[in-house]
């Protein structure tokens, strides 16, 4: 197990280095830079050059990369070129919106997918089971933006129960208002992600039904459903944990899109704003944190999976 | 894939808008309720474009001028909403007959927001530093100023040559007075002399001003102003309907019915210097041919654009009605697709393929009309919607484009047509000469007349096209008064703002 952990850790570090290079290079391919944005539409080339020099944009790219990554290794994510604010501070502030949004979305996704997925597998072949699986198929194919707009139309505009966009200026000092503001966005991401998860739970359950130990349990006198629930579900749970790693990535992407739609002042909206101002040090820091988060979640999912699955333990 | 998603999103948004229309009724706007101004009031104003940072010295963009100049930072002189020049930190001023000496009397007892006194030496330092620091905005606008001196409260500017635009420029970035040696972090904070104090900036969300109780003039009637940055008009409408904002600026006049249906808002249209500018890259074929440029202008149905926007007016030359030097130039390029086709044939430029580069924050209205209008005369227009830094890089800096659309909001910016290096790529020595003469003129009427002559030549050269002269579209809550409506994209002077408790 230790050797496995070390190999995975090495892979994780390699992944992070590759990600940092990719992030850095991809952003440099974008046309335009922050000096042009600062100088605007009434500037001379000399002005732009002077600002570039001031910001260190005239340094060679390799030097800029090493400068950045050196800072990251010392725990410094860098600062915004526009405001001078440290990237870490900004991330912490915006995370107050994005992290609760992600957690709420995940809860919605699990609440939707687990019972319905198992149920639709058990009801396979019957009308309601088929309906659930077709419904999930359709929902999983829906873009989050569309789902969000439909929810806004129904819950914010027709029924008037929830706010259509925005986040209370007081933030979490007014928890009720903050939760209400996050309700529709979390529901949007949760339903779409949940529909994808539902399909996965269903097929994992179906697989479990076919397993020897479930059939044996059924043969020993349990009903098929009871056998499935008692002996099959643990294996389903295991598969779900594996796929949750992927879901986290899906939820992060969903949050970036949904924060635009609901004008939530979170990490997603900050990221888009920073790209369109070409505040690259900030974008780099933000992307690196998000990527690391997904990679680290994947790392732990692998570890947990290995620790709790008796079959894998023995194989090692 | 991305494009398909964007298309789908647009279609859905349209569907969403239709649904919205279906479920909000008609109704008349309510009469303004009479009530007394509430001295503790907080007014929330929706703005569209958030500044990248607050550095008034260096960072370009109307988003800064809009809220920071007049409200936070001030100059010796200021401009009124009607675009006249009025006293500000200087209680009065005189200009010598030869236009070479400007004398200002500085007010006494003015304090900066950090409590320090405004000294005559701060004025001298601010103007001198601005002039000597090319990275600072509008530094070049002080080029003719040779000396800035203070004697007691009297500030004297001496010029090497007359400059009819100097006073106007002093109402803008070029004239802003800062505290000498100030250690303020200008990127995220501010320290000026204006009626409001900047108290917080929540990036991606809002900027908050508070009343400056120590203000040298009449202190504001409201205790607090919150600028809420909401880019999408639909979201802004929702915020207004939910009562989250008291004023919506930069609104879409097509949504008038919906916002007025609440009875709490009234839509106001104010004049502006927003110029929907279609630039032609005239350094290369086919747009180096004046007939092709004229054909494009005559193929465009400007009235249809104004109608589609439900606000604004047509503008056929480089100078809008609010600026000096304006004249009606509609005779230069009247809408006439047949004449346009004939011109293209004469220029041997049929079946043209052109690309329009447009920053992606502008809606689909303008490109849609252009594609259809130009298609009618045999020009295939491809729309390339790009983010603003890409536009800056490709069009503004590298001049790598055919046609470009940008809404230029700056007042009195004719100089760009007299600058052959500007991205307009227009180079006419006669225009440059007339513009130089207009600057050197010592009386306003002469200056205006010279500008008008130059503007007519620009229009007759078809150096560009002006798709429309925008309006300031604002929806104002019925308990709000003193909200300016003229040219608010450029300046939003809130000194008179009040909110009644009735």
The pLDDT tens digits of the residues spanning A173-201 come to 888 888 888 888 888 888 888 888 888 88
Closest Cα in chain A, distance from residue B154 (Å): 32
Scored b (16 or more CB within 10 A) or e, A57-66 reads beeeeeebbe
Nearest to B204 among A47, A156, A273 (CB): A273
Predicted confidence (pLDDT) at residue B35 exceeds the cutoff of 50 = yes
Closest Cα in chain A, distance from residue B339 (Å): 34
pLDDT top residue among B207 and A260: B207
Nearest CA in chain B to A280: B389
Task: Find all residues with CB under 8 Å of A10, minimum gap 6, and list them.
Answer: none
pLDDT at residue B26, rounded to an integer: 33
What's the CA dihedral at A71, A77, A83, A89 to 10 degrees?
A: -140
Beta strand B224-229 pairing with B42-47? parallel
Nearest CA in chain B to A49: B135
Q: What is the CA radius of gyration of chain A?
A: 24
Nearest to B187 among A82, A157, A273 (CB): A82
B399 torsion bin: left (phi>0), alpha (psi -120 to 50), beta (else):
left
Q: How confident is the model at residue B23 (pLDDT cuts 50, 70, 90)?
A: very low
pLDDT in tens, B243-273: 889 999 999 999 999 999 988 999 999 999 9
Q: At what angle do helices A233-261 and A267-275 cross, to 10 degrees?
A: 50
Nearest CA in chain A to B19: A153
Predicted confidence (pLDDT) at residue A74 exceeds the cutoff of 70 = yes
In degrees, rounded to 5, the angle at the alpha carbon of residue A186 between the alpha carbons of residues A184 and A189 is 110
Q: How far is CA A200 from the centre of its chain?
A: 18
Residue B34 to residue B20: CA distance in whole angstroms = 31
Is residue B279 within 8 A of residue B464, CB to CB? The reply is yes
Residue B39 to residue B220: CA distance in whole angstroms = 9
Nearest to B389 among A50, A149, A276 (CB): A276
Nearest to A149 among B16, B389, B391 (CB): B16
Q: What is the DSSP letter of B500?
A: B
- Looking at B377-485, list the stretches that DSSP marks H as alpha helix, in order from N- to C-terminal side: 388-391, 429-440, 444-460
Predicted confidence (pLDDT) at residue A228 exceeds the cutoff of 80 = no
For B101, the enclosing helix (H) or strand (E) is: strand B101-106
| Cβ–Cβ gap A157/B19 under 8 Å | yes
Closest Cα in chain B, distance from residue A112 (Å): 26
Predicted confidence (pLDDT) at residue B101 exceeds the cutoff of 70 = yes
| Cβ–Cβ gap B390/A45 under 8 Å | no
Residue A20, token pair as written in the block: 């940092």
| Cβ–Cβ gap A166/B230 under 8 Å | yes
ipTM: 0.79
| Cβ–Cβ gap B392/A32 under 8 Å | yes
**DSSP 3-state assignment of B93?**
strand
pLDDT at residue B222, rounded to an integer: 96
Nearest to B19 among A30, A80, A153 (CB): A153
| Cβ–Cβ gap A263/B135 under 8 Å | no
pTM for this structure? 0.85
Strand order of the β-sheet with B90-95 is B90-95, B101-106, B154-159, B145-151
Residue B134 to residue B125: CA distance in whole angstroms = 15
Average of per-residue pLDDT across B67-86: 94
Residue B360 to residue B96: CA distance in whole angstroms = 48
In degrees, rounded to 5, the angle at the alpha carbon of residue B250 between the alpha carbons of residues B249 and B253 is 105
Closest CA to A91 of A105, A74, A107, A78: A78
Helix, strand, coil fractions of chain B, as percent rounded to 5: 30, 25, 45
Residues of B in contact with A185 (CB under 8 A): none
Residue B499, token pair as written in the block: 């909110």
| Cβ–Cβ gap A36/B392 under 8 Å | yes
Q: Give percent above pLDDT 90 in chain A.
A: 8
Q: How confident is the model at residue A313 (pLDDT cuts 50, 70, 90)?
A: low
- Sign of the Cα torsion A133, A137, A140, A142 reads negative
Predicted confidence (pLDDT) at residue A91 exceeds the cutoff of 80 = yes
The verdict on A145 touching B (C-beta cutoff 8 Å) is yes
Q: How confident is the model at residue B15 (pLDDT cuts 50, 70, 90)?
A: very low
Q: How confident is the model at residue B164 (pLDDT cuts 50, 70, 90)?
A: very high
Worst-scoring range by mean pLDDT, A299-308, B15-24, B105-114?
B15-24
Predicted confidence (pLDDT) at residue A106 exceeds the cutoff of 80 = yes
Average of per-residue pLDDT across B83-102: 95
Q: How far is CA A145 from the centre of its chain?
A: 15
pLDDT in tens, B357-402: 999 888 888 999 999 999 999 999 999 999 888 999 999 999 999 9
Burial classification of residue B144, based on how many CB atoms lie within 10 Å of its CB (0-12 exposed, 13-18 middle, 19 or more buried): buried
Closest Cα in chain A, distance from residue B238 (Å): 7
Residues of B in contact with A256 (CB under 8 A): none
Residue A287 to residue A78: CA distance in whole angstroms = 12
Worst-scoring range by mean pLDDT, A49-58, A133-142, B21-30, B152-161?
B21-30
The verdict on A60 touching B (C-beta cutoff 8 Å) is no
Residue B382 to residue B97: CA distance in whole angstroms = 54
Is residue B313 within 8 A of residue B261, CB to CB? The reply is no
| Cβ–Cβ gap A278/B389 under 8 Å | yes
- Sign of the Cα torsion B409, B411, B412, B415 reads negative
Q: How far is CA B165 from CA A42, A117, B437, B494, in A?
A: 16, 72, 12, 25
Residue B414 to residue B243: CA distance in whole angstroms = 41
Q: Is the bond leading into B286 cis (omega within 30 degrees of zero)? A: yes
Nearest CA in chain B to A30: B390
Report which listed range, A285-289, B15-19, B168-172, is most confident. Answer: B168-172
| Optimal mutation site among B55, B236, B238, B389, interface A, most CBs of chain A within 10 A | B389
- Looking at chain A, list the stretches that DSSP marks H as alpha helix, in order from N- to C-terminal side: 2-29, 34-39, 45-55, 61-73, 87-122, 127-140, 144-151, 175-209, 212-219, 224-227, 233-261, 267-275, 280-308, 310-315
For B238, the enclosing helix (H) or strand (E) is: helix B233-241
Q: How confident is the model at residue B108 (pLDDT cuts 50, 70, 90)?
A: very high
Residues of B in contact with A94 (CB under 8 A): 204
Residue A136 to residue A109: CA distance in whole angstroms = 12
pLDDT in tens, B133-150: 988 999 999 999 999 999
Predicted confidence (pLDDT) at residue B22 exceeds the cutoff of 60 = no
Nearest CA in chain A to B207: A169
| Cβ–Cβ gap B389/A51 under 8 Å | no
Residues of A in contact with B397 (CB under 8 A): 36, 45, 48
Q: State chain B's maximal CA–CA distance in angstroms.
A: 69
Residue recorded with tokens 């009618």 = B376
Residue B13 to residue B194: CA distance in whole angstroms = 41
Q: Give percent above pLDDT 90 in chain B.
A: 82
| Cβ–Cβ gap A149/B50 under 8 Å | no
Closest Cα in chain B, distance from residue A31 (Å): 5
The verdict on A263 touching B (C-beta cutoff 8 Å) is yes
The verdict on A200 touching B (C-beta cutoff 8 Å) is no
Nearest to B135 among A47, A143, A270 (CB): A47
pLDDT at residue B445, rounded to an integer: 93
The verdict on A45 touching B (C-beta cutoff 8 Å) is yes
Q: What is the C-alpha end-to-end distance of chain B, expressed in Å?
A: 53
Predicted confidence (pLDDT) at residue B207 exceeds the cutoff of 80 = yes
Residue B380 to residue A279: CA distance in whole angstroms = 36
Which of A 76-95 lie inside 8 A of B, CB atoms? 80, 82-85, 90, 94
Residue B232 to residue B230: CA distance in whole angstroms = 6
């Amino acid at each position: 197990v230790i050797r496995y952990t070390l190999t995975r850790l090495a892979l994780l570090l390699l992944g992070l280095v590759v990600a940092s290079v990719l992030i850095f290079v991809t952003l440099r391919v974008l046309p335009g830079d922050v000096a042009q944005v600062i100088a605007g539409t009434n500037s001379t080339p000399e002005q732009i050059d002077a600002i570039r020099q001031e910001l260190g944009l005239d340094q060679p790219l390799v030097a800029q990369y090493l400068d950045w990554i050196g800072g990251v290794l010392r725990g410094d994510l860098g600062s915004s070129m526009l405001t001078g604010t440290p990237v870490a501070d900004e991330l912490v502030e915006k995370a107050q919106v994005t992290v609760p949004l992600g957690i709420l979305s995940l809860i919605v996704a699990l609440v939707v997918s687990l019972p319905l997925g198992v149920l639709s597998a058990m009801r396979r072949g019957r009308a309601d089971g088929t309906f659930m699986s077709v419904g999930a198929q359709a929902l999983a194919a829906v873009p989050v933006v569309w789902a969000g707009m439909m929810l806004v139309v129904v819950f914010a505009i027709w029924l008037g129960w929830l706010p259509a966009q925005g986040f209370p200026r007081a933030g979490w000092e007014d928890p009720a208002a903050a939760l209400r503001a996050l309700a529709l966005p979390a529901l949007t991401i949760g339903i779409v992600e949940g529909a994808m998860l539902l399909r996965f739970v269903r097929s994992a359950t179906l697989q479990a039904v076919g397993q020897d130990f479930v059939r044996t349990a059924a043969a020993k006198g349990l009903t098929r459903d009871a056998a499935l629930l008692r002996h099959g579900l643990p294996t389903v749970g295991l598969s779900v944990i594996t796929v949750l790693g992927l879901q986290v990535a899906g939820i992060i992407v969903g949050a970036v899109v949904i924060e635009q739609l609901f004008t939530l002042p979170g990490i997603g909206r900050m990221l888009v704003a920073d790209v369109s101002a070409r505040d690259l040090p900030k974008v780099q820091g933000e992307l690196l944190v998000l990527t690391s988060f997904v990679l680290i979640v994947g790392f732990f999912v692998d570890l947990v999976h290995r620790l709790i699955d008796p079959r894998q333990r023995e194989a090692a | 894939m991305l494009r398909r998603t964007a298309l789908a999103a647009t279609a859905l948004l349209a569907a969403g808008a239709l649904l919205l229309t279906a479920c909000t009724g008609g109704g008349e706007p309510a009469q303004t309720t009479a009530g007394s101004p509430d001295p503790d009031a907080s007014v929330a104003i929706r703005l569209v474009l958030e500044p990248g940072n607050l550095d008034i010295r260096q960072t370009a963009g109307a988003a800064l001028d809009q809220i920071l100049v007049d409200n936070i930072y001030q100059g010796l002189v200021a401009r009124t909403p009607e675009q006249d020049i009025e006293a500000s930190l200087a209680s009065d001023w005189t200009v010598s007959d030869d236009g070479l000496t400007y004398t200002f009397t500085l007010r006494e007892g003015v304090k900066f927001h950090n409590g320090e006194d405004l000294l005559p030496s701060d004025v001298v330092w601010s103007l001198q530093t601005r002039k000597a620091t090319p990275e600072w905005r509008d530094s070049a606008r002080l080029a003719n100023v040779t000396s800035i001196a203070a004697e007691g409260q009297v500030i004297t500017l001496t010029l090497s040559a007359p400059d009819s635009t100097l006073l106007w420029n002093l109402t803008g970035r070029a004239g802003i007075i800062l505290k000498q040696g100030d250690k303020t972090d200008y990127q995220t904070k501010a320290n000026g002399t204006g009626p409001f104090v900047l108290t917080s900036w929540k990036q991606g969300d809002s900027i908050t001003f508070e009343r400056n109780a120590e203000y040298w003039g009449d202190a504001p009637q409201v205790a607090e102003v919150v600028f809420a940055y909401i880019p999408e008009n639909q979201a802004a409408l929702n915020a207004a309907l939910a009562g989250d904002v008291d004023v919506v600026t930069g609104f879409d006049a097509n949504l008038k019915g919906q916002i007025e249906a609440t009875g709490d808002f009234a839509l106001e249209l104010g004049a502006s210097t927003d110029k929907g500018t279609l630039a032609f890259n005239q350094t290369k074929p086919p747009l180096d041919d004046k007939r092709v440029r004229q054909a494009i202008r005559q193929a465009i149905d400007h009235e249809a654009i104004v109608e589609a926007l439900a606000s604004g007016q047509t503008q056929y030359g480089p100078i809008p009605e609010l600026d000096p030097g304006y004249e009606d130039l509609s005779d230069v390029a009247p809408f006439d697709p047949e004449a346009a086709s004939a011109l293209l044939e004469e220029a041997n430029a049929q079946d043209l393929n052109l690309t329009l580069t447009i920053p992606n924050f502008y809606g689909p209205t303008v490109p849609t009309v252009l594609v259809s209008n130009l298609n009618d005369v045999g020009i295939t227009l491809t729309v390339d919607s790009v983010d603003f830094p890409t536009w800056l890089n490709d069009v503004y800096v590298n001049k790598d484009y055919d046609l470009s659309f940008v809404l230029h909001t700056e007042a009195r910016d004719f100089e760009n047509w007299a600058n052959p290096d500007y991205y307009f790529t227009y180079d006419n020595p006669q225009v440059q000469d007339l513009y130089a003469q207009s600057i050197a003129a010592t009386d306003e009427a002469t200056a205006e007349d010279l500008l008008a002559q130059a503007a007519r030549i620009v229009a007759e050269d078809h150096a560009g096209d002006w798709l429309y002269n925008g309006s300031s579209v604002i929806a104002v809550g019925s308990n709000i008064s003193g909200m300016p409506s003229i040219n608010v994209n450029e300046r939003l002077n809130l000194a008179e703002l009040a909110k009644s408790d009735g």
